[in-house]
Amino acid sequence: MACKPCDDGASMKSITKATICFCLCCLAGTALGAENADPYNGWAYYGGTQDGIRYSSLDQINGQNVDDLEVAWIYHSGELERRGQDLITNSSTQNTPTLVAGSLMICTPFNRLIALDPATGKERWVFDADIDLSHKLPFHYNCRGVTAWENPAAGPEAVCRNSVFMGTNDERLFAIDAQTGKRCPGFGSNGEVPVTQPQSLQFAGERKITSAPVVLNGVVAVGSFVMDNLRADAPRGTVFAFDAATGKALWSFDPIPREPDDPARETWQDDSSMTTGAANVWATMVADPERDLIFAPVASASPDFWGGERKGDNLYSSSIVALNAKTGKVVWHFQHIHHDIWDYDTSSPPMLIDITRNGEKIPAVVQNTKQGFSFVLNRETGVPVFGVEERPVPQNALAGEWLSPTQPFPVAPPPLVPQGLTPDDAWGFTWFDRRACRKKIESLRSEGIFTPPSTAPGSVIYPGTAGGMNWGGPAFDPARKWMIVNTTNVPQVVILVPRKDIEGVVGINLEVGNDVAAALGTPYGVRREWLLSPLGAPCVKPPWGELVAVDMENGSIKWRVPLGSIEKMLPLPIEWNLGTPNLGGPIVTAGGLIFIGATMDGYLRAFDVENGEELWKDEQPGGTQTTPMTYEAGGRQYVVMVSGHHLWFGSPASDAVVAYSLPDRRKK
């Protein structure tokens, strides 16, 4: 039964004792527990709810009035002044706020946790984790989000009844009281626990916690970011779980099987599982409370583009793994790339949805990938819902490499980005531009998706290592059963460089968009660069970024539209919606709207979920490589975007949180 306001016009005689009790319960629920009354009416988790579908049941803002949106408030964290240009350049703003115990929570790239009044943006408290600031380029600072937990054993006024968990760039996990911003005294040592491993780091920032923790049935678990391509024996990608109330270590899961009796170890030849690192969980995990399952998207093993020292399929790398939340044991797993040497690690957060097939309701988990694939699996068993086929892929790698003869391809939905590039596909603004792109493609090894990396002039990796779909993740409209997801369509060139020519070299050139990494412990280092024309445009036909709607009941594409304009890259600022590469994700509301930033042009946009029509946009103070969120406060719906610098996109720096709402008619 929905909680409705008490009828102020009713006569006192008509109000029974039961009605009074019901109204008091409603008022209490509104004041103290509105987020729990309708889980899709708040935003307590990075993905909105534990299922990660980024859907809001709020509908005050809709297609008829979205054009009336105006800035309600702007908050500046002060990080621009506090950190200085060098640290800001070495950071990426990717934060999605959460709504916890009546406060809006944001975390800065430097792990300052800030609580704001959601109606005004006024600062309530700040907690500074005081992290190590010695990380150097390209080991950038980042905090994508935090997550909340309400302790059912704590009294209403108890300290840390509502906790906020935040992982840090220097590998700690904090529990902070949501009301006061103070450390939770009963959690670990003064509100923090170390999240470390026996293996030492070669430098500060090689491993860190950047994504929001996941909380399920009293267990809080964290994954980690591990720097790519630097060495074959990279830090381990272990997932750690702790008691949410006490911080006591409960279990750990290393996606690379080290124990001799683990059947997955057979997929690592020559005991290479004992000398390989990474296979970390750097994307955000999601949880199924009913089944007590945590879904972990596992990245590729180290290094990314050479696997000669780790022959075999390499379970559980480049997989989605369902873990029992109490024990950390593997319930099931599904590997979407065998022996990944393309940096196609599982970067997108999974999404838990219910769909109907042949009259049967199926609890599903959707895992999007950089290849542009959407794997739809039964979340109880891991069995594909639409089917998956093992298909032959290109062979003939460099001597010493190992290749799987086949790779898994989902039968449906279809790939959301192109899967190969030929000279005939070359594109350019001019005839000269197109001819130059054609010659480039002709010179490269390009045999379709999963073309093995090669030495100079190199191999085409298409989709590129940014996707396809990346860490921004999808959203889901439960009424239409549609997934909304953003994609990038830009090819890359990967060149394996003999060891003698690359020893000790590690660097990033943001001006020309390529990077060089040593991949120590292997015969080759690696150089990556985007496949661009002389005029700086991708050598493929636009759109270079899209927003796509997919019917998850049958796997069909409902619509797709370009996402982003190249106006800021032109001599004259003329809107030209060819789509841009993008990072960050969408949200969907019951008002029939999609909100998304993500693009290189710096706008937050609203689209009609029914047909993909762009209805509204507003330019942000800085980069938009974040995911927005929405909530209700004081009877008004707000849409909030965090705007700031992004290392890889070179986005403008900002430390702003911008909130939008419809005009407040009460002020008129």
- For 553-608, the pLDDT digits (tens) are 999 999 999 999 998 777 667 788 999 999 999 999 999 999 999 999 999 999 99
The two tokens of residue 618 are 């507003």
The H or E element spanning position 368 is strand 360-368
Task: Give yes or no: residues 194 and 329 share one domain.
Answer: yes
**Count of domains for the chain:** 3
pLDDT for 35 equals 40
412: in domain = no
18: in domain = yes
Task: Give yes or no: residues 269 and 297 share one domain.
Answer: yes
Strands 55-56 and 586-589: parallel
- Give the end-to-end CA distance of the chain in Å, rounded to a whole number: 35
Q: Is the pLDDT of residue 114 over 70?
A: yes
Residue 271 belongs to domain with CATH number: 2.140.10.10
pLDDT for 502 equals 79
| C-beta neighbour count of 106 within 10 angstroms | 22
Q: What is the pLDDT of residues 197-255, one digit of tens each?
A: 878 888 888 999 999 999 999 999 999 999 988 899 999 999 999 999 999 999 999 99
Task: Give yes or no: residues 105 and 169 share one domain.
Answer: no
455: in domain = no
Asked, as a colleague might, if the bond just before 562 is cis with ω within 30 of 0, I would say no
Task: Give yes or no: residues 165 and 83 share one domain.
Answer: no
pTM score above 0.95? no
Task: Give yes or no: residues 356 and 245 share one domain.
Answer: yes
Question: Mean pLDDT lowest for which of 205-219, 346-360, 416-430, 507-521?
Answer: 507-521
Which of 403, 429, 461 is the last residue before a domain boundary? Answer: 403
Task: Give yes or no: residues 171 and 284 share one domain.
Answer: yes
Which of 403, 429, 457 is the last residue before a domain boundary? Answer: 403
Which of 387, 403, 419 is the last residue before a domain boundary? Answer: 403
Task: Give yes or no: residues 73 and 172 share one domain.
Answer: no
**Count of alpha carbons within 13 angstroms of residue 545, beta-carbon side:** 23
Point out the catalytic residue in the list 170, 288, 343, 515: 343
DSSP 394-454: ----STT----SEEEEESSSPPSS-----GGG---SSHHHHHHHHHHHHHSB--STTPPPB
Task: Give yes or no: residues 379 and 293 share one domain.
Answer: yes
Span 18-32, average pLDDT: 34
The two tokens of residue 466 are 């940014």
The average confidence (pLDDT) of the chain is: 91
Task: Give yes or no: residues 112 and 217 share one domain.
Answer: no
User: 608 or 11, which is more confident?
Assistant: 608
The CA distance from 550 to 266, in Å, is 37
Q: Whose structure tokens read 């990494």? A: 517
177 in catalytic set: no
Task: Give yes or no: residues 285 and 364 share one domain.
Answer: yes
Task: Give me the phi and psi of 513, to 5 degrees please.
Answer: 75, 30
339: in domain = yes
Instruction: State which residues form the domain around 371.
Output: 145-403
pLDDT for 34 equals 38
CA 253 to mean position of chain CA atoms? 21
The two tokens of residue 265 are 């170890």
